[in-house]
Structure 1
């Protein structure tokens, strides 16, 4: 499992029922001839009974997030379409590759990291192109749809600071890297994976404009990161990052916003710094060779609906990917809603394409740096 993308609020939910296990072991049959109706695709809808009796397996990361996906999307889609929506997980990229390579694809829709998804587009990749005759992406915010994926949700990679430690609050990456004015331990991800995060932060702290970040000058980024190396502590899972906040071990912590939300909801006196926080997106795709690709695309089209996205946010705290979604949240939930213009206007867009193209070399460099 790719650790960076396990962003669930808890991981204790068992997701593999007998039906899902059966689906994971059975070989796909010939694609069914289905009628999704006439006219252009309309996001959030599916023709009633169009997939009656058809099995469709949805794969995600588990925990509260996947349960929210099933409650907001999977079960309503099953009721409306007639499909048997099974679930499996957690997402494992090696399993996707093995299924595709062996022409034995049993996973129909898979929630993945956007960088991995970006790498799988095209003739040599593992994911099918999105069929826009079935998937209506007209209400997805600009820049979030790839050739072979749509967004599953969006969130922030955000610095949280201990409000008991700093009477004068830090305001952005420059303060994160200023250990004289803001002494204390900084927590960042320390597992062997790379993607948007402290590298962009280092460059922003060093004066690079947000709209000039890419291509990343990684030599410059590492030089800046090295200046605070003695003040860094590392988390390897989302749960560990949350615990570092709740225990007060980290004076500042760069974390996935869902984990920050959970820590504050549990009583931690920490505040997010949305200024220069990073916009991150999860992806949904269909493996090449899926038994019923039209049905999988219909599921994705339904997933992107306004009502479905609102409910998913209300259940999980992660932000919607429908531009008209207005989830009903309490005050704390609203403070972590990255689609709120007051937050969104402060965030920095990240470039999945650059990371996909440079992932292998940068992973090697990061791994060596961690071990150094």
Structure 2
């Protein structure tokens, strides 16, 4: 696509003049607009400051943001042929499963060479912010030196009493199985019966929440003692309460893909934005605003000092090799089953 080359050329100009006048360019007489959707909270602000504003200044493409992402809403839009969300962030399993059905394939002119190949799992998504689900606790809720030291402590309500909170989505399943003692190399295929048993044993001590931002807010407020949380969200909660602590012994590693939703009214701008993210230099500014590392080859830019205690790649010694990684092939083939079993075991 000819315009992609123009956009990438403008990207280098935008980066070079970031401290200058901020003059914008327009690559088209009929500039399109985009609606970008992610999971809300600080991630929206980081996407705006790190990606959307620079992209808009370089291209003249207008944008707005929405949240949270809902897979069912995307499917309804595509089925009706009336897409109002142009770009969405999804887990790699959803990206792989719905590539070509709900999501457009990347333009072949988009250069993915700068991305870490272990995160490039389909023909639709551009990978961004690899992230970990970790046990996080509010140290104000515990006294003395007996504090959680392993993800297994999430299940130990006798030694560590207090309510637990986790994200009401399938990304919690692998972390929950890890907490229940499943070896990191045996997380997949998912043991649904064991996961359901773990949820039943936690009973009223576990609450599932559909809002990632509020999840860490409530942990910081003292409403909960522990959380299975995404690391970047822990950092935003720690701004409110610095007593949030991460346990690195036992983590679930995954990442996010940005994809273009089918039937958009701005297909060229969709692909241009994907090309923008596929360039390590123009993906990098996001990581000045939120505690994640880049999906670029060689890990991209250095993690800012203020974020280092929240990023797994900066705490590898503490992780002790106890890290389960998402199995994209399994999730692609079993996504519907995983969602159904998760909904069944968490209903009511």
Q: TM-score, normalised by structure 2?
A: 0.79
Tell me which residue corresponds to 2:161: 184
Q: CA deviation at 1:355?
A: 3.6
CA distance in 2, matches of 1:226, 1:107: 37
**Structure with greater helix share of residues:** 2
Tell me which residue corresponds to 2:18: none
CA distance in 1, matches of 2:334, 2:230: 22
Kindly tell me: are residues 291 and 137 of structure 1, through their superposed partners in 2, closer, same or farther at Cα, counting changes over 3 Å? farther
Q: CA deviation at 1:126?
A: 1.1
Tell me which residue corresponds to 1:300: 274
Equivalent residue in structure 1 for 2:232, among 219, 233, 258: 258
Tell me which residue corresponds to 2:89: 111
CA distance in 2, matches of 1:233, 1:103: 36
CA distance in 1, matches of 2:119, 2:276: 20
CA distance in 1, matches of 2:283, 2:323: 21
Greater CA drift, 263-272 or 322-331: 322-331
Tell me which residue corresponds to 1:59: 36
Question: What are the residue-to-residue correspondences of 1:1-372 with 2, within 5 Å?
Answer: 34-37=2-5, 50-51=27-28, 53-61=30-38, 62-80=40-58, 82-90=59-67, 91-105=69-83, 107-122=85-100, 125-164=101-140, 165=142, 167-180=145-158, 182-189=159-166, 191=168, 194-197=169-172, 199-291=173-265, 293-323=267-297, 324-327=299-302, 329-331=304-306, 333-340=307-314, 342=316, 346-371=322-347
Indicate conservation of the 8 Å contact 2:252/2:324, yes or no: yes
Tell me which residue corresponds to 1:26: none
Q: CA deviation at 1:356?
A: 4.6
Q: CA deviation at 1:137?
A: 4.2
CA shift digits 1:29-79 (9 cap, x unpaired): xxxx844449xx89x769986446421314113543223223222222233
Q: CA deviation at 1:253?
A: 1.5
CA distance in 2, matches of 1:268, 1:341: 18
Indicate conservation of the 8 Å contact 1:320/1:339, yes or no: no
Indicate conservation of the 8 Å contact 1:187/1:241, yes or no: no
Q: CA deviation at 1:325?
A: 2.1
Kindly tell me: are residues 350 and 45 of structure 1, through their superposed partners in 2, closer, same or farther at Cα, counting changes over 3 Å? farther
Greater CA drift, 337-346 or 275-284: 337-346
**Count of aligned pairs between the two proteins:** 330
Q: CA deviation at 1:273?
A: 0.9
SS state of the match for residue 261, structure 2?
coil
Q: CA deviation at 1:292?
A: 5.2
Q: CA deviation at 1:86?
A: 1.8
Q: Which runs of 5+ in 1 are unaligned?
A: 1-32
- State the superposition RMSD in angstroms: 3.3
CA distance in 1, matches of 2:273, 2:265: 14
Kindly tell me: are residues 338 and 132 of structure 1, through their superposed partners in 2, closer, same or farther at Cα, counting changes over 3 Å? farther
CA shift digits 1:255-289 (9 cap, x unpaired): 22233212222224121012221123222111233
Indicate conservation of the 8 Å contact 2:166/2:227, yes or no: no
CA distance in 2, matches of 1:105, 1:237: 23
Greater CA drift, 229-238 or 299-308: 229-238
Indicate conservation of the 8 Å contact 2:35/2:84, yes or no: no
Q: TM-score, normalised by structure 1?
A: 0.75
